[in-house]
Chain A
Amino acid sequence: MTPDRRLAWWLVWAYPPRFRRDVGLGLVDALEDRMRARRAAGAPAAIIWLRASVDTLRNASAEWIDCTRDAVKGVRDNDRRGRPSGHPNRGRTMIDKLRQDIKYAIRTWTRRPAFALVAILTLAIGIGANTAMFSVVNAVLLRPLPYAHADRLVTIWGLATGPQALSGNPHMLVAYQEYREIARQSSSFDAVAMWFSQSVNLTGVSEPQRLIGSFVTGSFFDVLNLRAERGRLFAEADSAPGTVKPYVVISHDLWQQRFEGKDAAVGATMTLNGVPLTIVGVLAPVFDVRTVPSEGWFVGYDVYIPAAQFPARNLDTVSMLSVGRLKESATMATAQADLEVIARRLQTLFPQTNTNRTIIAESAHESIIGQSRTALFLLLGAVGAVLLIACLNVSNLLLARAIDRQREIALRAALGASRLAVTRQLIVEAGLLAVVSTTAGLLIGRWALDALTMLPRPQGVPIPQQIALDTTVLLFTIGTAIVVALVCGLAPAVRTSRPDLSRVLQAGFRRGSATGSRTRDILAAVEVALSVTLVAICGLLVQSLLAVQRAPLGFDPSNVFTLEFRLPQAKYRTPEEIARFFQQAIERVRAVPGVQSAALVRAVPFSGNWGNTRYTVEGRTPPAKGSEPQTRYHIVTPDAFRTLRIPLLRGRDFTDRDDLSARHVAIVNETLARTAFPGEDAIGRHLTSPDAGPEPLTIIGIVGDTKHLSSTEPPQPQLYVPHYQFPLIFASLVARTSGPPMNVSNDVRRAIWSVDKDQPMWKMRPLDELVAASQGQPLFLATLLAVFAGIALLLAGVGIYGVMSYAVAQRTHEIGIRLALGASGQRVLGEVVARAARLTGIAMFTGLVLAVAAGRFVAAVLFGVRPSDPSTLAGAAALLAIVSLAACYLPARRASRVDPVVALAEE
């Protein structure tokens, strides 16, 4: 055979079978002739073959379309006339058979709509939930960050290495002086930048407004490859300390809102934090911030201000977030090695701050989404298990029907029909189920996503506001559909592909064959096992949630109104001016009706704001520079403890007399008192802290421990100093109210405006809402898992019910005989229940083993409960036992009440 002819043969294979049979040989000849003629004319072989292939591609696909259209038309004609069209050439091709199987499946469904509806609905819900969950995972975990060279973006952090490092916040911000060394010395980065977002006050406009600004180094735009859509961005030289370039770059949105998108915005002046800044450019939007998780990263701020403008006396010691772009040749490992070398140099350069401190790099993607990985994969795993249970249920239903038909098929097989007919029919039906339920599932998934994004987004699970069903998700769903079809169709197909003819036929036409009951039992047992696992994990999460909610906070968050503000440094230059403003503001707020007490704190608990410092105990040999122990650092006005109801255990609270002229005082919490002065009385002792100046602090009181960042953090040492001795332009107001906290918000604001009419305020919130928000992730996880576990329980119940009632129905005849011979109904009932119990018992054991294995994975999101918590596991098992007993009760009762006369007459 010539190569041309061989190719022609291959090409003709592309046509539909009917076409091949009718004119295939002729086409092979013609193709070969055409190729030979072209060869004779001197055309190169590649061109000849290409033209033949293109010809085939075009015509074969057209022919397939025609023949499918004919087939569909044929079905419709048949249906209309109720008999096969008498086409003379009509053969039993694959398409015909397929068409028949599909018709058969649809006919079965319309005859038993309840079965079809339940099957399709269960699968559609399962597929929908999976599609929605995977969309979230895809949007959050799988998609790269929407920046150029996203895979090379890294975040850079400080890391405490000494034994005194505080637990709970291992990643520390990078100081400007460290950044400078990294940028200068590292050979692994294309560019490194610092950025830090902070509220800025916009004044000089009709109503003072708070904007969210980001203080950035000029290299920031370079690292992220950002560009200006109008004007220009500022350069590294414009942001360095010492240069006071009054520049600002504004966001696209702010440009549209404030300047209606006019070009005149560039060059205009904005007064931010009391300083007039010139708008040099408008940042081109990188992406729709609603479609990315956690819009708080890198961009999405109103204004970008040179880092040199950061409100601090000495920029060198200011800590900020740091981001860098790796060189193409660099890897995380080389960058890390590089940073370690620099960290050692920093230790000698800045022994005060950098002893026991190293610098690490982490992929930016990991920094942003790393914490949510466990939670999201847990949810994806849970919906996957629910879908699997749904599939097994449908598989069981299909199997039951197939076994019913098996006698008919065995008979047909004995008479010469194809044994594979039933298998093929089952696979086609499972496939059709998968297709229909996937279509419905995509819709459900879309709705579920909308519902999910409408829920309050929990802290710690960054879910974008808008999630698109993109190609990856569609591919995932199609893959899911294939798996669904396989799981649904596999067991029944395998079970019926080789029917044991003699046995089936010997069993006769009685409904007595027990064929397939073992397969069905196994399917039901797997369902139960998976449900036990889900219920157990759900139980762990609920316990964890309860533990989080029960964890003592150390303060009373109910009826507390909070708000944040900052004073413009340009207006309040001296500590005296700041202290005076605060004293006046507090007095006016206390006078507001409905306010019982009020105070200022540097950081409201659970607001996400916090500060750390180091301390040394007076009168002891100080530890090496840089290895001093750390403590949380709070600045509060008098009455803060009373307002937050933090118990004052010993000593006294701060008073108005603890001011700039008085000697410096401090209050410590129990943990700090215990760590710093073990077995001694802390009152009257002295501490020094670099943040509180050189003068020692005299301890005047001891208060109870409080949680500050989350309910789950371990007790931390805490040091309180009086606001009037250490005035800070940042402050938050806390006010205990007699009624609902938000009722006082307008009066409180007016009270502060009566002191300074230019003062914007923000984040007006009740404290208990802050606390509740911090518990959002455990609540979110426990709620979703409870829904999934509920569905799983229901499906497992349906599964057991199905298996049991089928078994009873199959044995009606036998039971009838036994009852007629004098067996008691009780005994029959007992037997049915015992079988269900055996099944459930094995399944429960497997499920518990699975749950313990899965628990190790879940441990990362648990608090206050061990993954192998015996009571939770026992509870899950008990719940499943109840469900499975309830599910087998009806079939068992039916069995015990079989009327022997009816059962025997049934044949």
Chain B
Amino acid sequence: MALRPIEFHILLALAADERHGYSILQEVAELTDGDLTIEPGTLYRALHRMLKDGWVVESARRPAADLDDERRRYYRLTPLGRRVATAEADRLWRLLAVARQHRLLTRA
């Protein structure tokens, strides 16, 4: 089943590193060259649902002290979340393969 775009974006943003909410937003903006601006409320609704479903958890670990802002809550992927992200990436890959077959891709 397809994920909602915002969910996939959150999973992608958390794939490399654990992040706090606002840095997820920044990452998404960077990844899409600023095309997609997600509002905090929208982000946290999705995040809340993903927390309940066990895709992400609040992280107990903190980054290096000089980078840390102690109020912040950091989130990271769970193994389940990683599997969901992989499944979605696979699904998208298959779609891209079809698109390439039909010469719908402008990039290599």
Contacts and interface: CB of A to CB of B under 8 A. Distances in A.
Interface stretch (B45-53, B60-68, B82-90): B45-53
A51 B39 contact: yes
Contacts of A33: 21-22, 25, 40
A29 B39 contact: no
Given A25-B73, A51-B39, A55-B39, A30 B52 contact: no
Contacts of A55: 39-42
| Interface secondary structure of A, over-half rule | helix
A624 interface: no
Given A26-B44, A26-B72, 7 more contacts: A26-B47, A26-B73, A30-B22, A33-B21, A51-B39, A63-B45, A63-B48
A53 to B, nearest CB: 10
A51 B37 CA distance: 12
Interface in A334-368: none
Given A27-B21, A29-B20, A34 B48 contact: no
Closest 7 A-B residue pairs measured CB to CB? Answer: A59-B41, A33-B22, A55-B39, A30-B40, A30-B21, A55-B41, A27-B44
A62 interface: yes
A58 B38 CA distance: 13
B71 interface: yes
Interface residues of A, number: 21
A48 to B, nearest CB: 12
A30 B25 contact: yes
A52 B42 CA distance: 11
B68 to A, nearest CB: 13
A286 B71 CA distance: 67
Contact of B22 (A25, A34, A58, A62): A34
Contacts of A26: 20-21, 44, 47, 72-73
A29 B71 contact: yes
A741 B88 CA distance: 91
B15 interface: no
23 contacts: A19-B48, A22-B51, A23-B47, A25-B73, A26-B44, A26-B73, A29-B20, A29-B21, A29-B22, A29-B71, A29-B72, A30-B22, A30-B25, A31-B41, A33-B22, A55-B40, A55-B42, A56-B41, A58-B41, A58-B42, A59-B45, A62-B45, A89-B52
A483 interface: no
Nearest to B47: A23
A60 interface: yes
Nearest to A36: B22
A101 to B, nearest CB: 26
Contacts of B40: 27, 30-31, 33-34, 52, 55
Contacts of B48: 19, 22-23, 63
Q: In the complex, which of the residues B25, B39, B44 has the most CB atoms of chain A within 10 Å of its own CB atom?
A: B44
A682 B21 CA distance: 108
A33 B44 CA distance: 14
Nearest to B49: A66
Interface in B26-44: 39-44
A386 to B, nearest CB: 49
B72 A34 contact: no
A709 to B, nearest CB: 72
Contacts of A22: 48, 51-52
A19 B52 CA distance: 10
B44 A23 contact: yes
Q: In the complex, which of the residues B41, B45, B71 has the most CB atoms of chain A within 10 Å of its own CB atom?
A: B41
Interface of A: 19, 22-23, 25-27, 29-31, 33-34, 51-52, 55-56, 58-60, 62-63, 89
Contacts of B52: 22, 89
B45 to A, nearest CB: 5
B74 to A, nearest CB: 9
A89 B43 CA distance: 21
A32 to B, nearest CB: 8
Contacts of A27: 21, 40-41, 44
B14 to A, nearest CB: 13
Contacts of B44: 23, 26-27, 30, 59
A62 B48 CA distance: 13
A55 B25 CA distance: 14
Nearest to A70: B52
Contacts of B20: 26, 29-30
B81 to A, nearest CB: 16
A52 to B, nearest CB: 8
A34 B25 contact: yes
Contacts of B45: 19, 59, 62-63
Contacts of A31: 40-41
A89 to B, nearest CB: 7
Nearest to B72: A29
Q: In the complex, which of the residues A51, A59, A62 has the most CB atoms of chain B within 10 Å of its own CB atom?
A: A59
Given A30-B40, A34-B40, A55-B42, A23 B51 contact: yes
B39 to A, nearest CB: 4
Contacts of A59: 39, 41-42, 44-45
B44 to A, nearest CB: 4
A293 B52 CA distance: 60
B103 to A, nearest CB: 39
A27 B51 CA distance: 14
Nearest to B69: A29
Q: In the complex, which of the residues A26, A31, A55, A60 has the most CB atoms of chain B within 10 Å of its own CB atom?
A: A26
Given A23-B51, A89-B52, A60 B73 contact: no
A55 B48 CA distance: 16
A543 to B, nearest CB: 69
A9 to B, nearest CB: 13
Q: In the complex, which of the residues B21, B47, B72 has the most CB atoms of chain A within 10 Å of its own CB atom?
A: B21
A62 B44 CA distance: 12
Contacts of B73: 23, 25-26, 29
A63 B43 CA distance: 12
Nearest to A8: B40
A63 to B, nearest CB: 6
Contacts of A34: 22, 25, 39-40
A60 B44 CA distance: 10
A60 to B, nearest CB: 7
Nearest to B22: A33
B89 to A, nearest CB: 26
Contacts of B71: 25, 29
A29 to B, nearest CB: 6
A837 B44 CA distance: 67
Nearest to A19: B48
Contacts of A25: 71, 73
Contacts of B51: 22-23
Contacts of A56: 41
Nearest to A62: B45
